[in-house]
Amino acid sequence: MWKSLLLLLTLAGIVAQPTFAAANPDCGDFGPLSGKIRSASLDELSEMADQAPEIARETFAARLKIREGAARVLRGELPKECADQMRNAMNDLRLLEDYLAMLYGRRQQKNETPIQDLGALRGDSPVLMINPNIVSAQEKDGEGRVALRSGDILLSRGARFLSAMIAKITKPAGLFSHAALVYIDDKTGQTYTVEAHIEVGVLASPISKYMNPSSSRVVVFRYKDPELAHAAAKNMFDRAVRQSDKGRNIPYDFSMDTSDHGALFCSEVPSNAYEAASGGKVKVPAFRSRMDLQSEDFMDRLGIHVSDTFAPSDMEMDPDFELIAEWRNLEKIQGTWFSDALMTRIYDWMENRNYVLKSTFGVRALKWFVWTFRKLPILKEPLRKSLPSNMSRNVLEVVALLNKVEGKFYKNLEKSNNEKFARDDVLLRPSDLEAMIERVREADFAQYEKDLAWKHDFSEESRFTPRPKVLFHRWLSPAEMN
Beta strands in 55-173 (DSSP E): 128-130, 153-157
Left, alpha or beta for 201 (phi > 0: left; psi -120 to 50: alpha)?
Answer: left
User: What radius of gyration, in Å, describes the C-alpha atoms of the chain?
Assistant: 23
In angstroms, the CA 67 to CA 26 distance is 17
Distance, C-alpha 24 to centroid of its chain: 30
Bridge partners for 356 per DSSP: 477
Give the single-character DSSP code of 196.
E
In angstroms, the CA 314 to CA 172 distance is 9
Walk along the chain (482 residues) and give the pLDDT tens digit of each residue: 555 565 555 544 544 443 333 334 346 667 777 888 888 899 999 999 999 999 999 899 989 988 988 888 998 888 888 899 999 999 999 999 999 999 999 999 998 888 888 888 999 999 999 999 888 766 777 678 899 999 999 999 988 888 999 999 999 999 999 999 999 999 999 999 999 998 789 999 999 888 876 799 999 999 999 999 999 999 999 999 999 999 889 999 999 999 999 999 999 999 999 999 999 999 999 999 999 999 999 999 999 999 999 999 999 999 999 999 999 999 899 999 999 999 999 999 999 999 999 988 777 766 666 656 555 555 555 554 445 556 678 888 898 899 999 999 999 999 999 999 999 999 999 999 999 999 999 999 999 999 999 988 877 776 778 889 999 999 999 999 97
Q: What type of residue is 301?
A: R
276, exposed or middle or buried, with CB in 10 Å at 0-12, 13-18, 19+? middle
pTM (two decimals): 0.90
Where along the chain do its domains lie?
1-115, 336-478
